[in-house]
Amino acid sequence: MTQDNKALGTALRQWRDRTSPQEAGLPTGGVRRAPGLRREELAQLSGLSVDYVVRLERGRATSPSPQVLASLSRALQLSQAERDHLFLLGGQVAPTAGQISQHIPPTVRRLLDQLRGTPFSVHDAAWNLITWNPLWAVLVGDPSTSRGRERNVAWRHFTHLPTRVTHTPEEKTRFETAMVSDLRTSSARYPADGELGSLIADLRRESGRFDELWRSHSVGFHTADSKTIHHPALGTVTVDCDTLTVPGSDLRIAFFTAPSGTSAAEQFALLSTIGTQAVAAVAHGPGQ
């Protein structure tokens, strides 16, 4: 065990111990020996195996990838300075101003914590899924087992991966135009981001529709539209989807809402009444 690996493990344990389940949006029932997160909970939140978290904390895992460190940073709700320190301890270069960041500022996290009754997902400037709340996962499918580009909205859509979401032809045109335009804007803003450049190149090669829109220089932004979700327990759910950006961070936060008095509003109320676990028992599968 090297000194750096030991320091990384110590820091992870300290940050885990200080992060309460309530802050992480987890249930708080049962007897707990410590106020912080359990290793199993940190693994769940960061999309890692429990064994890998144990090895990291014990200094037995070397050279964690930037993706692993970013996931741990989000799960532990680290500040930007703490995130940079985590990357340093992990032997990686912290994200720079020339790269897309997946950091969620504490102020944004506090706002999202108040929206337990509204399904939402958070994405970076390349439309990679960063985090979500239980209602969103129940509606569109739990993405916790998805990896890599399976969590990218544009990749899922243009390569026709399975989804519960459908669009009318008009909605599909608006969505695709806005998605390609937004990626073009991000590529101009982050020309040195290799992962974004690779994503766009692969999309142009794999999807004729994406390449057509890219070459046409179509302009649009995915701000508001409707989506139809085909849910295995609730049936067809039509929702409004609004996308907000966070100044200074390039985050995209997508909210699902339903006008009062509609069937979708009643279905949302059903979720709030019976809880997400009962519905989620029959509601597995990826979405966007």
CA-closest candidate to residue 203, choices 164, 174, 166, 161? 161
* HSE-CB of 276 using CA atoms within 13 angstroms: 17
Quote the CA–CA distance of 67 and 235 in Å, as a whole number. 35
- pTM attached to this predicted model: 0.70
Give one DSSP letter per residue of 33-94, joined into a string: SSSS--HHHHHHHHT--HHHHHHHHTT---S--HHHHHHHHHHTT--HHHHHHHHHHTT-PP
The CA distances from residue 74 to 37, 203, 218, 273, in Å, are: 14, 27, 33, 29
Quote the CA–CA distance of 209 and 200 in Å, as a whole number. 13
Question: In order along the chain (288 residues), what is the average pLDDT of each group of 10 residues?
Answer: 74 91 73 82 88 91 84 86 87 76 84 86 94 88 87 96 93 93 89 92 97 86 81 85 83 89 80 56 49
Question: Could you tell me the domains of the chain?
Answer: 3-89 (1.10.260.40), 106-280 (3.30.450.180)
